[in-house]
A and B are shown apart, each in its own frame.
Chain A
């Protein structure tokens, strides 16, 4: 039904385009250069009027149809079904009715339930047909309206351009609205969490044991939500990653920009880009299966007690992951330093290394610093590698050979398995997520400000 409707919209829009265009062609033939817009714009104008309102209507209809029918259904239910059901459990009743309608039932449904299910199914069919008819009517009316407006002085081009710019504004708003939505949902759930656990305990507590409180009979030993060890673990792993990635990334960029010939660059750059495209779960395998055992082996040879899921393994592999990120941003920053700076320094008799150290790096430093901050925010938010390679137990510990846990790992473990959204154990994930979001957002804002400011410097 729906597929048929969308096909109809597309076909009718195409038809409208051809009708409009042939009208446009007629105007051009009759009036020549006095015609305001090219024939194609006339076609596009009519097509937009046919397609877009109908599409918007259908989407809105689909969005609202479910809840409208639900409410009507609830209102029409016989008291035999609704009696004794708590107001909060109405949605359960509704899903029971819907399941019955599609044939997913446990045992024999009561006759009232079957009747309700029949009603629900019937109303859905009616709503579907109504939508189809209304959409068709809207298309025809709008198309007729648009077609009657066409004449040789009609500014179809202006109208089409205006629609396009509006459409692009709409697209760019989607990301912003989504971000706002994320913030709202994170904040809402976090507030709920903080009503159960005092913020002071969360932000300053040194003990993180959220798993304890999962069963009701253990409520006496209710969990501890001091997130400091979790933040500390993230800090340790992200620091290790940055320690690995910063020098490697920057020196890679310097080599590529200042030293390598074109042929070498043409080999190394694509490989770096491939490295950037490797899924993080693959890095996770690498960390767990290769790096962690190697570090453990090396540690035991040297006589250090090394945990099998050491921070060093997770952090080191994460560092490898962000190398291409740093090197490509540092590459941009170095490349943005004008050639005249290099020439000036080289012409003074400076070597390449002296030029890099004394002129290029200072000039590119803001851009590189911005890149490092962006990379750091990625390292902090990185999930898959640490889920696979880092530990689960939060401990106040900065020994890189020991096991630490991170914010992202804790979020994942808190949300895996049975979750109850009125339980601080689950809600803690949102509080952690909020902190993560705020930290990475701040890092990104600062980094992007630095990068942008720096870009303008040599304009």
Chain B
């Protein structure tokens, strides 16, 4: 596959002018500006990630629009999840991982040594690929974050936070009668919404979602997608997905990653209807990936 790819690249270089704006070096990202989006507060500049000696991400720069859904797409192993995990520094847990470059939230560098990673993760929540509720009750799952961050002053406070989080995650009506039964007893889709409620309960500004629907059936997926659409009113959401349809359905901005490089980013509609880069076009039409 890679050989055909480079052959194509070569013809591009020598052939007549391609539809893209400039003949850029291979890792120059194609950028299409967002129209009428909120000002970005979360920005990444020249982010590179190494696992030991292996480089997984090359100079990724992107602005994440406020109170909108941004989706990262690309074939497996393209670095989109790696980049997502850089945003709340979950890569810190991997011993051999090294992150270069700047990611800023409100102009504060997330990798600054003065920054407390615990606070950061309270501001930037995360939902994982496989639903991972704790082996505790539904109530305890949601109350976990508020408890460790001391967000509730009393028991009623805590109950209110749990209830409103479950409501925002669209789960409250389904579980209100069994808040104290184990969270692991829920169905896959419910578990994932429980994890979203858990993330919301801490009051984050940004929610990162790493392929949140890949372990779910189509109906549960549809419910979660609807939920994501509702959540963007209050939260900035970044979602990694394998499904281009999902990216097209839920996101306003899309970024296409390939082999550790950010190839193209811009308004979702534009990427899917009028991709500027050849590789993006190939991926969207199913020729690579």
Contact = CB atoms under 8 A, between A and B. Distances in A.
Nearest to A351: B118
Given A340-B132, A343-B128, A348 B95 contact: no
B262 interface: no
A344 B148 contact: no
A349 B134 contact: no
A270 interface: no
Interface in A336-373: 338, 340-351, 354, 358-359, 362-363
B77 interface: no
B132 A344 contact: yes
Contact of B135 (A343, A350, A363): A363
Given A340-B130, A340-B132, A354-B148, A349 B202 contact: yes
Nearest to A360: B134
Contacts of A338: 132
Contacts of B198: 344, 348
B135 A347 contact: no
A347 B95 contact: no
A346 B93 contact: yes
Contacts of B145: 348-350
A261 interface: yes
A348 B128 contact: no
A262 interface: yes
A343 B144 contact: no
A338 B136 CA distance: 15
A347 B125 contact: yes
Given A342-B93, A362-B136, A349 B122 contact: yes
B95 A262 contact: yes
A218 B135 CA distance: 65
B121 A348 contact: yes
Given A261-B95, A346-B121, A347-B121, A341 B132 contact: yes
B148 A349 contact: yes
B211 to A, nearest CB: 13
B149 A349 contact: yes
A403 B119 CA distance: 55
Contacts of A344: 128, 132-134, 195, 198
A457 B185 CA distance: 12
A369 to B, nearest CB: 15
Contact of A341 (B118, B126, B134): B134
A345 B198 CA distance: 10
B125 A348 contact: yes
Interface residues of B, number: 26
Contacts, number: 67
A319 B95 CA distance: 33
Interface in B96-131: 118-122, 125-126, 128, 130
A354 to B, nearest CB: 5
B48 interface: no
B150 to A, nearest CB: 11
Contacts of B135: 341, 362-363, 457
Given A354-B148, A358-B148, A362-B136, A347 B118 contact: no
B136 A347 contact: no
B222 interface: no
Contacts of A363: 134-135
Nearest to B133: A344
B144 A345 contact: yes
B148 A348 contact: yes
Contacts of B90: 343, 346-347
Contacts of B120: 349
A348 B202 contact: yes
Given A348-B121, A362-B135, A363-B135, A343 B93 contact: yes
Contacts of B95: 261-262
Contact of A345 (B88, B122, B130, B134): B134
Nearest to A347: B126
A119 to B, nearest CB: 76
Contacts of B202: 348-349
B115 to A, nearest CB: 12
Contacts of A348: 121-122, 125, 144-145, 148, 198-199, 202
Interface string A425-459: 00000000000000000000000000000000100
B132 A343 contact: yes
A244 to B, nearest CB: 30
- In this complex, which of B135, B149, B199 has the most chain A Cβ atoms within 10 angstroms of its Cβ? B135
Interface in B137-190: 144-145, 148-149
Nearest to A458: B135
Contact of A340 (B128, B136, B148): B128
Interface in A128-187: none
Contacts of A359: 134
Interface string A385-426: 000000000000000000000000000000000000000000
Interface string A255-278: 000000110000000000000000
Nearest to B129: A340
A358 B198 CA distance: 15
Instruction: Tell which of A340, A343, A345, A347 has the most Cβ of chain B within 10 Å.
Output: A347
A340 to B, nearest CB: 4
A358 B144 contact: yes
A363 B88 CA distance: 25
A346 B125 CA distance: 10
Contacts of B122: 348-349
Nearest to A359: B134
Contacts of A343: 90, 93, 126, 128, 132
Nearest to B144: A348
A10 to B, nearest CB: 52
B142 to A, nearest CB: 10
A348 B132 CA distance: 12
Interface in A46-97: none
A349 B202 CA distance: 9
B58 to A, nearest CB: 25
A344 B199 CA distance: 9
Nearest to A358: B144
Contacts of A342: 93
21 contacts: A340-B128, A343-B128, A344-B132, A344-B133, A346-B121, A348-B148, A349-B120, A349-B122, A349-B148, A349-B149, A349-B202, A350-B118, A350-B144, A350-B145, A351-B118, A351-B148, A354-B148, A358-B134, A358-B148, A359-B134, A363-B134
Interface of A: 261-262, 338, 340-351, 354, 358-359, 362-363, 457
Given A347-B121, A358-B144, 11 more contacts: A338-B132, A340-B128, A341-B132, A343-B93, A344-B133, A344-B134, A348-B144, A349-B148, A349-B149, A350-B148, A457-B135
The 3 residue pairs across chains A and B that have the minimum distance between CB atoms: A340-B132, A349-B122, A349-B121
